[in-house]
Amino acid sequence: MPAGRSGIPGSGGVTAGALAAGGSPAAGGSHAALGSPAGSRCEAPAGPFGPREACGIFGIWGHPEAVACTVRALVALQHRGQESAGIAVLDGSGRLRVHRGPGLVGHVFGRPGRLARLGEGATAAIGHVRYATAGDPGPRNAQPLLFGGDFALAHNGQLAGGERWRAVLERLGVPLATTADSEVIGRVAQRHAALASRLPVSRSALTGTCPVQPAAPEGGGAMAAPPGPGGTNPAGGPPAPLLKALAAVPGAYAVVILTPRGLLAARDPWGIRPLVLGRIGDAWAVASESCALETAGGRVEEELPPGSWVWLGCGEAPGPARGALPGWDRAGLAREAFCVFEYIYFARPDSCFAGRSVYAVRKELGRRLARVHPASADVVVGVPDSSLPAAAGYAEAAGLPHELGLVKNRYTGRTFIRPGAREREEAVRLKLHPVPGVLAGRRVVLVDDSLVRGTTARWLVTALREAGAREVHLRITAPPYRFPCHFGVDTGRAEELLAAGHSPQAMARAVGADSLAFLPLDQVVEATGRPAGSLCLGCFTGRYPLDPEGKVRRIGHRGDPGDRGIPGGGAGGG
């Protein structure tokens, strides 16, 4: 998305010129200097392996045990991120507080008395688990981010054209201290609020455990601008600057934003990243996956539609207020493009999307793989954990025994999301160990969910042979992964992907397998039960719902938001 053009149509967006001048759309506005927080990103800075990641988010409003519910939900989402965890709360005095740090949820919040202190008087909270691949693993890289007393934000996804956004903000004098897309969203929102209200945005430091900061009083503060184009929505809805920022930034995201007045949850216009709405008792909550709501003692009501928001908080309506992101409420501006890798790899098997359990989809992938690519073998072995349902399906369809031939150490993270080949190989060695009694002298079908760089597969084939396997036939429940993901998955550059430019036969030789076969794309799509047009399949086809610079791919409509540029950009662009 080129810098320097106007905002999203229909959003009441501030023009590039006005933002660059530091004023409101009307003449005479003041400069709105943004702070320089030290915080986190869910997408680490680009490095030699093109790091990307999936994270998990949760939010709840109006529950007397909001923090306890959030901790339970984050534990259920731990598979989505093991590097850091954090929780922001709205305490009994109306102040936002946050605690976050490196490590698993139990480590960050396991110290005696920590949860009690954080949760005292809190009836609203948001939480985040981060899947880091590069950069500083310390507390400064954890979420949620706290933006003064205005709001706290947690984010799962990857913005398109994020570096262009950062360059624009830096040209405006905004000293960004993180590499986080999450910070970009928050700073754009603050900028919108400052320009609309003509109030300066205070500089705030986002540090490991942020000091208590008073909430903005009613009628003042950056997020308490008057109702209308720049302030809050009618009937006690979410602050308009937050909606404008979300509407303006293209890419894959699911976000939860906690304010003193309510909790805003939103999903990108393509629905690339998941977000579900449910209830825990009488309280409303949102989460990345249904398993988190259920673990916290709740039930799922619905999946948030792509391009929509819900507001949980102060208002006269008995349930959540909801709506479409500004400018995205016209048919055809974007199509649903749910990440197919949520079914294949990311999500927990007991979660559901579009009414279909992830477990059922993975088992069906295995059945189809056995029918399309059978192998003369004695036993089927799945790679723990995400491939075990598929291995069970393969064995069922092939009439072969399914056995535990690999034992997983459950205290290590996932491996294809690692910064270097040596680190990934070492991680595999620590995580998985073969069972010789299952493998010795047998022809093995090894079922895995994906083959990205080949590091894991190469080590596994070697380990199975060393444990006595006579033959190893590798079967993958996805098509060849030929194109990098730009929307939240660490897969590296195209030249680092084993399938890019190599035939299955060449790939089999590279990993040392006796044979290698992939499930065709049409079979994957049919197993999900969704139309192909509702899925993002870019990692297999190279065709993305929007390009990495933020241009929307759609047919038959003018006024594409992706062509409008960055609200707040400098002059020119094209």
H or E stretch covering 446: strand 443-448
136 assigned binding-site residue: no
- What span, in angstroms and rounded, lies between the C-alpha atoms of 347 and 54? 10
> For residue 253, what are its two tokens?
């995201």
> How far is it, in rounded angstroms, from Cα 345 to Cα 481?
13
Contacts with 344 (C-beta within 8 Å, 6 or more apart), sequence order: 362, 365, 386, 449, 450, 477, 478, 524
Crossing angle of helices 455-466/421-431, nearest 10°?
A: 40
- For residue 68, give the amino acid letter: A
Residue 306: both structure tokens together? 């792509």
CB atoms within 10 A of CB 314: 13
Instruction: Give the whole-angstrom CA distance, residue 428 versus residue 426.
Output: 5
User: Does 290 show up as a binding residue in the annotation?
Assistant: no
Report the alpha-carbon distance of residue 370 to residue 72 in Å, rounded: 37
**Residue matched to tokens 């299952």:** 438
Running DSSP on this structure, what letter comes out for residue 566?
B
Helix (H, G, I), strand (E, B) or coil at 280: strand
- Catalytic residue of the set 42, 55, 210, 291: 55
The C-alpha angle 323, 547, 324, rounded to 5 degrees, equals 5
- List all residues 6 or more positions away from 484 whose beta carbon is below 8 Å from its beta carbon: 50, 491, 492, 493, 494, 497, 539
CB 158, CB 52: distance < 8 Å: yes
Beta strands in 48-83 (DSSP E): 56-61
Whether 69 sits among the annotated catalytic residues: the reply is no
CB 309 within 8 A of CB 292: no
For residue 283, the cross-strand partners are 280
Q: What is residue 370's three-state secondary structure?
A: helix
Is 42 known as a binding-site position? no
210 carries a ligand binding annotation: no
DSSP classification of residue 23? -
Q: Is 485 annotated as belonging to a binding site?
A: yes
Question: Using CA atoms in the order 156, 41, 32, 329, what is the torsion angle rounded to 10 degrees?
Answer: -20
Confirm whether residue 36 is marked as ligand binding.
Answer: no
* C-alpha span between 292 and 72 (Å, rounded): 7
| Helix axes of 162-171 and 181-197: crossing angle, nearest 10 degrees | 40
Q: Which residues, including other chains, have CB under 8 Å from residue 501's CB and lie 6 or more apart? A: none
Does the annotation place 11 within a ligand binding site? no
Residues placed in the known binding site? 339, 386, 448-449, 485, 536, 539
Residues placed in the known binding site for Mg(2+)? 386, 448-449
Q: Where in the sequence numbering do the catalytic residues fall?
A: 55
Residues placed in the known binding site for [4Fe-4S] cluster? 339, 485, 536, 539
